[in-house]
Chain A
């Protein structure tokens, strides 16, 4: 490319810049592709994998968790704590605590895949920001109750 000579180079250079400017000027007449994010929300795919969330079972009015602890065991970062207790007159344990430390979660999906009851799913929550670490220590039972605005049925996951 260096054998154009001085004027050849000038001509080539000026032409190449004009070609480039032609591309950018055309953009003025094209539709805008950016989204003004905080004022406009992006549409998110239903397959988006956010943090995990307990699934609400409409039949039992609770969640299907059987407190087997498989999810907590599968978690690479130990961010799940699952606790349950056996109440009197019940065959199985019922869930008392399901907490997620989202600061450590790497969204790999191991917990959702290992759950034998399908009691976990990904949330669609992506507008996540906070000032303290504790804001990301989620109590998933409380979140589930808040979403459905009712306390969970007592025999959660009993069947």
Chain B
């Protein structure tokens, strides 16, 4: 029993039980059940009054051993799990996983399937940014914008539900294509959504972008310098907010992204406001991609020939996609057969979170919420 007790202290040694270095400092647990962490993230804060001295994220509350599960299942059986890591934008996760096997086994994908993948993935990215804008403002105390963004989000979810059959945790892509074709109704509804969304930007700008309270709470808060972003391996809109134009869709193009004309929005100061602007501009860029993809949409089959029982060749393979939160990489080591030997998933939120202790030192507690909110963390993705 004593041994057991000793082992337990090893797990909880992050908890400062007795020796508080400065007697004026105190510790505050933000989470694991906290509305602004959007999941079971716990941040242990060493506080000096209202100021944060040392924030330390504590992970593992929602750990489900996704990578281990992949080592025990046939490759197709892991497919539904990919949609459950980043539930706010599941389709890029689907995309990375199937593309990994297509690269490993050299499977051809029909052009139509690639276009459908890009269109649905971009719609999913928009959905994710809608959710983020609403949720971040909710963290900062503004309740109204989430009602507007969710109204828009609902439009996209209806479109995606019609083709994928689910609203959140998609399992839509298959090795060699997608499992259901899109029809004219989908195209029509998506075009109507693009038109509607472009009109809604005006409302976003009036409600949020130009709002004095929002500007005061985010401008100059949580400044990530390009150097700091590089050191921590920050990706996605957080990286682009710091002024580094890195986007997997441009820098390491996959699928049919080279066929489209789009820009990578970047910020100037690397503060929370810039990260907000980058995401808002990304919605517009995603709309542009969807518009072009719908115009170019080729006819043909939506599901290529993929062997039912797929045997993987021995070796390793990796595939990166641009998920809504940044670069997502699947790395697979195969020892032959149909069960991976090892599947490593490099998720964007994990590296984005790692910047938190350095970023939020000396901040006000309320600013920490704004800075952490602007990272767009999805906890099940970190604790996968």
Contact = CB atoms under 8 A, between A and B. Distances in A.
Interface of A: 1, 9, 12-13, 16-17, 19-20, 22-24, 33, 45, 47-49, 74-76, 106-110, 113-114, 122
A84 to B, nearest CB: 23
A107 B80 contact: yes
A19 B166 CA distance: 37
Contact of A17 (B169, B171, B211): B211
Give the 6 A-B CB pairs with smallest separation, nearest first.
Answer: A49-B165, A76-B77, A13-B212, A108-B80, A106-B80, A108-B171
Contacts of B76: 74, 76, 110
B161 A107 contact: no
A45 B161 contact: yes
Interface of B: 73, 76-81, 84, 144, 151, 154, 158, 161-166, 169, 171, 179-180, 203, 206-207, 210-213, 215, 219, 308
Nearest to B210: A16
Contacts of A1: 215, 219
Given A19-B210, A76-B78, A49 B144 contact: no
Q: Which of A13, A75, A108 has the most CB of B within 10 A?
A: A108
Contacts of A12: 212
A25 to B, nearest CB: 11
B162 A45 contact: yes
Contacts, number: 72
Contacts of B144: 20, 24
Given A45-B162, A47-B165, A109-B171, A23 B207 contact: yes
Contacts of B154: 33
A19 B206 CA distance: 6
Given A1-B219, A49-B165, A122-B165, A107 B151 contact: no
Given A23-B206, A47-B163, A122-B165, 19 more contacts: A13-B212, A16-B211, A16-B215, A17-B211, A24-B207, A45-B158, A45-B162, A47-B161, A47-B165, A48-B166, A49-B164, A75-B77, A76-B78, A76-B80, A106-B169, A106-B171, A107-B171, A109-B165, A110-B77
B161 A48 contact: yes
A22 B203 CA distance: 10
B185 to A, nearest CB: 10
Contacts of A74: 76-77
Contacts of A13: 212
Contact of A20 (B164, B165, B166, B206): B206
26 contacts: A1-B219, A12-B212, A16-B211, A17-B212, A17-B213, A19-B206, A20-B206, A20-B211, A24-B144, A33-B151, A45-B162, A47-B161, A48-B165, A74-B77, A75-B77, A76-B73, A76-B78, A76-B79, A76-B80, A106-B80, A107-B165, A107-B166, A107-B169, A108-B171, A113-B179, A122-B165
